[in-house]
Amino acid sequence: MKKLWLLAAALSLTFGASGCGQPNDGTITIRMAQASAADGAIGISMDRFAREVEAKSGGRIKVHTFHNGQLGTERENIESVQMGNLDIAVVNQSVLVNFKPDIAVFDLPYTIQSAEHADKVFLGEIGKSFLQDLQSVRLHGLAIWESGFRNLTNSKRDVNTADDVKGLRIRVMENPIHQELWGALGADAVPMSWSDAYTGMQQGAIDGQENPATVIDKNNVVEVNKHMAMTEHCYSTVFLVMSPKTWNALSPEDQKIITDCMAQANLDERALSRRMDKEAIAILEQKGMKVTYPDKQLFIERTQVYAITTVKTLRNWLRKLPPLRNRRTYGTTALNLC
């Protein structure tokens, strides 16, 4: 059934020579998809972006948004963008690593220390460089939005120290760094698409998962996990990638509309994400989630052991990261090697 749906979606997204849907009345239809919930910061910001583009184009450009993996997994959406069958995919950095390995630098644990540090990286020259480099894998980079600092949830026990992670079966993204991260902490890392994670936790195939608080709240993880540890082990982003076929089919004027609206969305999404993240923690506690705040030092020490070997292939990018204020507390081994 899923294959039939994906085939139907692909057929509905098949564009003419122009690359994006352009009916006879001159309107342009752009399809934009993500795997997570519509009412999270990313979903809300996608819908706002769509409204802004339509308004600034005088109704000529209509952006249709799809949430909750309606058009496939994140990996499938990236491939659809590459083939020109989807206009814009909103995908986690950890999935995009499978297409652009350099992005793995941001998956190293405790590389990004704070929201301020993240803004310097992703809104500055480093972020722009990564977006430009996506051209090499047939993607047009539009923006990098915030998903947030990732935290651990599980159905078994409170996590008060790194030792409490041992033995837990944790759903992780299809990314070797995340798998090694949890392996270094003694957990059993299970690569799984997000669309399958809830069922896996519900059926007991996995004990938990890790995500920013807003994602945890909006995807009802509290129904299957009652323990949440504020590990903040990775800062997660989503990349907004457009099909070069679609981008090149737009006029310079319409490209400017997309670029200008996305520039404002960059700032608005980050502000919304941070507000919603704080609110989500309180909401989760009200729903019955037990929230703990383990000392991160032992997490840092154990995960940096494998980071030393990973960083050798990423050293050039790590040298470009803005310096952290307190490397003894947060400064990862990866960064200290540079």
CATH for 151-234+287-336, options being 1.10.10.10, 3.30.70.60, 3.40.190.170, 3.40.50.300: 3.40.190.170
Task: Tokens for 268, please give them.
Answer: 């608005």
What CATH architecture does domain 2-146+236-281 belong to?
3-Layer(aba) Sandwich (3.40)
The predicted-structure confidence for 3-30, as pLDDT tens digits, reads as follows: 433 433 443 343 333 346 665 678 999 9
The predicted-structure confidence for 60-88, as pLDDT tens digits, reads as follows: 999 999 999 999 999 999 999 999 999 99
The residues of the chain scoring below 70 in pLDDT are 1-24, 305-338
Radius of gyration of the chain (CA): 20
Q: How high is the pLDDT of residue 330?
A: 37
Are residues 235 and 148 in contact, defined by beta-carbon separation less than 8 angstroms?
Answer: yes
Q: Domain locations in the chain?
A: 2-146+236-281, 151-234+287-336
Q: How high is the pLDDT of residue 337?
A: 26
Q: How high is the pLDDT of residue 9?
A: 44
Q: How high is the pLDDT of residue 94?
A: 86
Phi, psi for residue 148 in degrees, rounded to 5? 120, 180
CA distances from 267 to 46, 107, 317 (A): 13, 22, 24
Q: Where do runs of H (alpha helix) occur along 170-295?
A: 176-184, 194-202, 213-218, 244-249, 252-286
Quick one: which of 198, 195, 191 has its CA closest to 220? 198
Number of helices (H), then strands (E), belonging to the chain: the values are: 14, 11
Q: How high is the pLDDT of residue 41?
A: 94
Task: Mark residue 294 as left, alpha or beta (left: phi above 0; alpha: psi -120 to 50; beta: remaining).
Answer: beta
Is it true that 2-146+236-281 and 151-234+287-336 share their CATH fold? yes
